[in-house]
Amino acid sequence: MTDAAAPALAVEDLHVSYGPIKALKGCSLRVMPGEAVAVVGANGAGKTTLLRAICNMLPSQGTVRLDGEPVRKLPTHALVRRGVLHLPETRGVLAGQTVLENLRLGHDMQPAATRPERSFEAAVEEVFRIFPRLGERRHQKAGSMSGGEQQMLALSRAVVTPPRLLLIDEPSLGLSPLMVREAYRVLRGFRDRGMSILLVEQNVRAALRFAHRGYVLRQGSIVREGEAAALGADAELFSQYLGVA
Ligand code: ATP
């Protein structure tokens, strides 16, 4: 049973270890329905581990709830069925497949029950309207495209089958400033349509400009949380926790 007033995602006291390395030391956070939340932190803070643990891609301890329902023991594919889309740092595009083939796979992977009613063709039309460059490259193999174009293709998966909860790892990683702006333009579109989003980022300023709320992750622990605008204006936070001037 789901509870309409429950957070879209609630993580409580999540622990992950890699052998002797404690990568997450009891993290708790929540994403309310329609909320965009950023987890920011320096290199090695545990951001990627956090998203992978939420998706049950690695062993963890603690509680993860989707719409109020505990899901930590569910396999990753069961989370996909519940409308969770995880876009990893590596972007998860299939290098040997064309743009269109990648979009088709993303569409077909989504269970019919959670797929929007519109046709694949209509979804692709929307993708090419948002990303004209993907339209020009529809028959090109994804592996031969630039990092920015591959990021567009990754983000397109959330256009083809809009998730209930988007988990996105470092959308600005390796992108030019222009492409970072482009990626966030698209994410703002998702946010403004009411998608629940959890984003982890090293690009603290971009993430906090985008999100409603933020958490600061440091060495596996959440050390600060608050309204994103307030965190973004806190110079001490940047120097003390994030090592950014
Ligand atoms: P980055 O931004 O550099 O990707 P991150 O904040 O995403 O960093 P994680 O990749 O989650 O951080 O790593 C958290 C900690 O766990 C780091 O100390 C890292 O070295 C360690 N770690 C991550 N993956 C493994 C692994 N497979 N085996 C051992 N240690 C790991």
Residue 204's closest CA among 177, 169, 231? 231
- Residue with the smallest CA separation from ligand 1 atom 18 is 44
**Is the CB of 163 within 6 Å of ligand 1?**
no
The tally of CA atoms less than 13 A away on the side-chain side of residue 97 is 12
**Is the CB of 21 within 6 Å of ligand 1?**
yes
Residue range 68-116, pLDDT digits in tens: 999 988 888 888 888 999 998 877 889 999 999 999 988 887 766 666 6
**Is the CB of 24 within 6 Å of ligand 1?**
no
Residue 37's closest CA among 212, 224, 178, 164? 212
Q: pTM for the whole thing? A: 0.91
**Is the CB of 44 within 6 Å of ligand 1?**
yes
Residue range 3-48, pLDDT digits in tens: 557 999 999 999 999 999 999 999 999 999 999 999 999 889 999 9
**Is the CB of 202 within 6 Å of ligand 1?**
yes
- Residue with the smallest CA separation from ligand 1 atom 26 is 18
The pLDDT-based confidence of 118 (bands split at 50, 70, 90) is confident
147-160 and 177-192 helices, crossing angle to 10°: 10
Backbone angles phi, psi at 141, to 5 degrees: -70, 135
**Is the CB of 59 within 6 Å of ligand 1?**
no
